[in-house]
């Protein structure tokens, strides 16, 4: 897997954990076309090859911005044709994050506006610094959210709250996001990454196949009726049965030791 990027910093602080940092702090990590492309390519690569990666933490460089959305300086005067080509890249990167087989935690360290918040919503769950500000302000700029925000936000906070957030375009705090179900945990700026990594490590220590199959079942639970969701869940469950990790989990429990999972 090629992890060489200009606008992303990739780190593996512990075995099984990857940190992806959007790295344009001078622009509050706003996405220009290159960053959009590199985010897409990074998560597309993870779809095809997860060797050695059990959990991803996605964050922004610095302490002021997670991602301020699309770089509007680059978009100023952009033709409809070029805008549409650029947005096709955004669509691909959002799908790549949502389809990532391994869990992805967003560590929102500052401003998450527009497409930046939509990127966070495309992950599995969000930890946010207490100083973070979040918003989907697209309607104040002549458009509407188009990176799965209107799809993912109601699944987190309910359709009525989502309508208020999207239709007003007003920002909200991390504490409000926690109250509404958009954010899972609020941390101090100083402890945000450590807490996200602690959770990522806990996830990464579990059986990789079991975690990935559970992620698929949980995602489908919000898309299907209950009977169909359970049918999908059972298919996912039965794929864990013939694995070495299942045998190791039971053996470790009976031997009163920590299991050593190998992802097979």
Match 């559970």 to its residue by tokens: 214
Can you tell me the distance from the alpha carbon of 196 to that of 124, in angstroms, rounded to the nearest whole number?
12
* CA separation for the pair 97, 91 (Å, rounded): 10
Q: Are 118 and 68 in contact (CB under 8 A)?
A: no
Q: Name residues whose C-beta falls within 8 Å of residue 33's C-beta, 6 or more positions apart in sequence.
A: 74, 86, 89
Is 74 a known active-site residue? Answer: no
**How do 111-113 and 133-135 pair as beta strands?**
parallel
pLDDT for 172-198, tens place per residue?
999 999 999 999 999 999 999 999 999
Beta pairing partners, 127: 107, 185
Catalytic residue among 60, 115, 116, 249: 115
Catalytic hit among 70, 96, 120, 135: 70
Whether 138 is a known active-site residue: answer yes
244 catalytic residue (yes or no):
no
pLDDT at site 237: 85
Ramachandran category for residue 9: left, alpha or beta (phi over 0 → left; psi -120 to 50 → alpha):
beta
Does pLDDT of 1 surpass 80?
no
pLDDT of residue 76: 82
Report pLDDT digits (tens) over 104-140.
999 999 999 999 999 999 999 999 999 999 999 999 9
Does residue 3 surpass a pLDDT of 80?
Answer: no
Q: Are 198 and 170 in contact (CB under 8 A)?
A: no
Q: Is 197 helix (H, G, I), strand (E, B) or coil?
A: helix
| Residue 105 structure tokens | 């935690």
Phi and psi torsions of 237, nearest 5°: -60, -45
Which tokens belong to 57? Answer: 């933490």
- Give the separation between CA 107 and CA 160, rounded to whole angstroms: 25
Q: How far apart are CA 94 and CA 108, in angstroms?
A: 17
Angstrom distances, CA of residue 54 to CA of 13, 137, 213: 13, 34, 13
Q: How far is CA 128 from CA 10, 12, 44, 174, 194, in A?
A: 20, 21, 25, 6, 12
Predicted confidence (pLDDT) per residue in 142-166, tens digit: 999 999 999 999 999 999 999 999 9
Active-site choice (114, 135, 138, 149): 138
Q: Which residue has the tokens 């864990």?
A: 240
Q: Which domains does the chain have, with CATH numbers?
A: 8-204 (3.90.226.10), 208-254 (1.10.12)
What does the pLDDT look like over 212-264, one tens digit per residue? Answer: 999 999 999 989 989 999 898 999 988 998 999 888 888 888 899 888 898 88
Taking each helix axis from N to C end, the angle separating 149-157 and 159-168, rounded to the nearest 10 degrees, works out to 130
**Residue 118 annotated in active site:** yes
Say how many Å lie between the first and final Cα of the chain, rounded: 20
Among 38, 60, 96, 118, the active-site one is: 118
13-72 pLDDT tens trace: 999 999 999 999 999 999 999 999 999 999 999 999 888 899 999 999 999 999 999 888
**pLDDT reported for residue 118:** 97
């Amino acid at each position: 897997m090629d992890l060489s990027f200009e606008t992303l910093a990739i780190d593996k602080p512990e075995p099984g954990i990857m940190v992806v940092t959007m790295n344009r702090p001078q622009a509050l990590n706003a996405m220009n076309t290159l960053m959009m492309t590199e985010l897409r390519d990074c998560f597309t690569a993870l779809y095809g090859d997860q060797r050695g990666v059990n959990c991803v933490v996605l964050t922004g460089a610095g302490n002021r911005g997670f991602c301020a959305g699309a770089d509007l300086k680059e978009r100023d005067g952009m033709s409809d044709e070029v805008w549409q080509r650029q947005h096709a890249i955004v669509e691909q990167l959002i799908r790549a994050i949502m389809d990532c087989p391994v869990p992805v935690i967003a560590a929102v360290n500052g401003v998450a506006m527009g497409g930046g918040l939509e990127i966070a919503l495309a992950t599995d769950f969000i930890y946010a610094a207490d100083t973070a500000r979040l918003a989907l302000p697209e309607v104040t700029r002549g458009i509407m959210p188009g990176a799965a925000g209107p799809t993912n936000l109601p699944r987190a906070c309910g359709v009525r709250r989502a309508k208020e957030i999207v239709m007003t375009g007003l920002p909200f705090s991390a504490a409000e996001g926690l109250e509404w179900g958009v954010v899972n945990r609020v941390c101090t700026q100083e402890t945000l990454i450590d807490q996200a990594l602690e959770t990522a490590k806990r996830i990464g220590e579990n059986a990789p196949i079991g975690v990935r199959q559970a992620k698929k079942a949980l995602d489908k639970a919000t898309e299907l009726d209950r009977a169909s969701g359970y049918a999908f869940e059972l298919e996912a469950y039965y794929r864990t049965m013939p694995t070495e990790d299942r045998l190791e989990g039971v053996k470790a429990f009976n031997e009163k030791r920590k299991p050593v999972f190998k992802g097979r």
